[in-house]
Chain A
Amino acid sequence: MATVAVKRKKHFNEIASFPNFLINGFFCFYTILCVLPLLLVIAVSFSDENSVLVDGYKLWPEKFSTGAYDFLLSDWESIVRSYGVSILVTLGGTLIALITMALYAYPISRQDFPHRKVFSFIMFFTLLFNSGLVPFYLLYTQGLHLRDNLWVLMIPMFVQPFFVLLIRTFFTHSVPPALLESAKIDGAGEWRIFAQIVLPLSLPVLATVGLFCTLNYWNDWFLSLLFINDDTLYTIQFRMYQALLDITFLSANSTAYSAILAQNPDYQLPTETVTMAMAVVGIGPIVFAYPFFQRFFIKGLTVGAIKG
């Protein structure tokens, strides 16, 4: 029979080499599409303003120049401060969010806790129904008076039901009840069990959720848009947003810019290239950190796909 006499290939059930080649080619093309826009932004940021205005954006600088970065450097304080705000909010927010969520997930993961269903529902219901922007905004501004306060950038993301469910599932599946039982017999209290048994066993899920939280905090700009007016409290994302709206915003109140103008009244702000340089400064850390962390994200996603 012809079908049985399959030629033994090196790998079982592989596709033929021509389609394989095609798939490869297609993915190479798509991969380039993913990276290309970033390269374009980098290229423009290193171009000379005039050549950009004449020839348009190019994937390779027509005329290499670091003028845009020189200008940003002259205003380095505000950028560094924005980085500081971003880092502070990201680290503080992630840390508190992780502790808060893990502490909530533990009781509702315990099968012997009679009210676990009630508290699961309290958490879960917020996914189903939300109040919308208006009451939320009024509470934080009129009720809590947190406008222009860094807490307002953190509190709304402390508890995210989906992550709590993820942590809870992990607790249920990877902490054997017998272990908790024996710890209790040995006289350990709930706090101690949580800190010394449950948490060390759940590091993978905490790492995953922590990474997602970090990303969410770092990339958030919406809360800044709503609540932050004071430009000393701008995160780097929000500063980028302002810069794209109006690059002169970067310089409007910058002493560096007025100093340059005083020396040279004809000085033209290199708006196009500075805008893109601002983007590069903002994207930098994410792109650098990406190769190290993407594995964990992809792993975390596949963990999250399994619901308990």
Chain B
Amino acid sequence: MPPTTEAVDAALRKPVRKTRTKQNIGYWKRFGPFYIMMAPALLVLLLNNYIPMIGSLIAFKQIEYTADSFFQSFMHSKWVGLANFDYLFSTTDAWTITRNTLLYNAVFIFLNLVIGVTFALLFNAMRNRRLAKLHQSVMFLPYFLSMIVISYLVYAFLNPDIGILNRVVLPWFGVEPIDWYSEPKWWPIILPIINTWKGIGYYAVIFLAAIIGIDQEYYEAATIDGASKWRQIRSITLPLIRPVIIVLTLLQIGRIFYSDFGLFFQVTRNSGILYDTTLVIDTYVYQGFIVSADIGMSSAAGLYQALVGFMLVLLSNLVIRRISKDDALF
């Protein structure tokens, strides 16, 4: 006689219940070490990120230094609602820094993508693997240099009196010397060049890794069918590295409200005359806070950046999820 379903169920349920009770009783005994392991990092996260997040509320206050400690002053200062934001957006600065941040980043993203993919394709096409590796390594060098070093290198080129450009390059073309550090109009060209020069090794390596991962059989089949190199790139390589391209681009779009502080601060030598084309949100917050000590306005600008940035990350992640679920961040 076959056993009834209930009997089978009971037999099956029993061990399950056993393990569950085992889990409940020994939770701390079993997972306690995990909590101890995570404690240091949690402490750092608390200090670095979570307490300052609460501190973001500064943007809604008017700080008055009444007490001895800053914390008490913070508690005693009165809430002023959106006054700091009103003040920020009533200036033309708000428009300028938003425009600069977005435009520069858009150009950076575009150049990284187009030049990065092009370089990766060229590397892949090179016959001599050794040589390709060598070029790749040298191209990666600027990525290792800090922005301070980059600013030195740029200064050697742009120094108005004795820089290479004014002394050597411009005379070739019969052009008058240009005072680079006091003419804003050149920086929208200079900064993308520097940014690309510094970062392109990185992007080329990532795209190349994706290209190398493509199965060779596709190309073999294409060659038998008589596809030209051009056609292979268009119909095999690009479609197959599309996910990588999309994810990298969207990651950058998620950060489009944040700039590379070093690039805009160091390379321009923080020259006030250039602010019209070089001031971005990050440098603006720094200037307003550290230099002018205007806590209200700079914290408002910082919170505005954080909130818009937050929404952009969520948005770009949503788009990534639509395209390829595996590449979504969450």
Contacts and interface: CB of A to CB of B under 8 A. Distances in A.
A142 to B, nearest CB: 4
Interface string A29-43: 011011101101100
A240 B141 contact: no
Contact of B225 (A3, A19, A136, A159): A3
Contacts of B229: 15
Interface in B148-163: 148-149, 151-153, 155-157, 159, 161-163
A30 B244 CA distance: 25
Contacts of B159: 57
B98 interface: no
Contacts of A131: 49, 52-53, 55-56, 302, 306
Contacts of A30: 135, 139
A67 to B, nearest CB: 16
Give the one of B34, B219, B220 with max A CB within 10 A: B34
A241 B266 contact: yes
Contacts of A279: 149, 152-153
Nearest to A289: B144
A96 to B, nearest CB: 8
Contact of B141 (A27, A35, A101): A35
A27 B135 contact: yes
Contact of B125 (A20, A37, A144, A222): A20
Nearest to B327: A307
Interface stretch (A121-129, A169-177, A200-208, A262-270): A121-129
Contacts of B302: 131-135
Given A31-B139, A132-B303, A159-B48, A38 B148 contact: no
Contacts of B202: 301
A12 B299 contact: no
A38 B153 contact: yes
Interface residues on A, range: 35 or more
A283 B41 contact: no
B52 A24 contact: no
Contacts of A305: 206, 209-210, 244
Contacts of A130: 49, 52-53, 306, 309
A104 B45 CA distance: 11
A12 B37 CA distance: 53
A103 interface: yes
Chain A, interface SS category = helix
B289 A134 contact: yes
A193 B299 CA distance: 46
Measured as residues with beta carbon below 8 angstroms from the partner, the interface class of chain B is: 35 or more
A237 B330 CA distance: 37
Contact of A57 (B163, B205, B285, B313): B163
Given A30-B135, A283-B145, A40 B164 contact: yes
A55 B307 CA distance: 51
A119 to B, nearest CB: 6
A34 B139 contact: yes
A190 B34 contact: yes
Nearest to B146: A219
B148 A221 contact: yes
B69 A142 contact: yes
Contacts of B152: 41, 240, 244, 275-276, 279
A139 B55 contact: yes
A133 B144 contact: no
A130 B168 CA distance: 45
A156 B140 CA distance: 26
A253 interface: no
B151 A244 contact: yes
A27 to B, nearest CB: 4
B51 A143 contact: yes
Nearest to A307: B327
Given A41-B156, A56-B163, A240 B149 contact: yes
Interface of A: 3-4, 6, 11-15, 17, 19-20, 23-24, 26-28, 30-31, 33-35, 37-38, 40-41, 44, 52-53, 55-57, 99-101, 103-104, 106-107, 110, 113-115, 119, 122-124, 126-139, 142-144, 155-156, 158-159, 164, 189-191, 194, 215, 218-222, 226, 237-238, 240-241, 244-245, 272, 275-276, 279, 282-283, 286-287, 290-291, 294-295, 297-298, 301-302, 305, 307
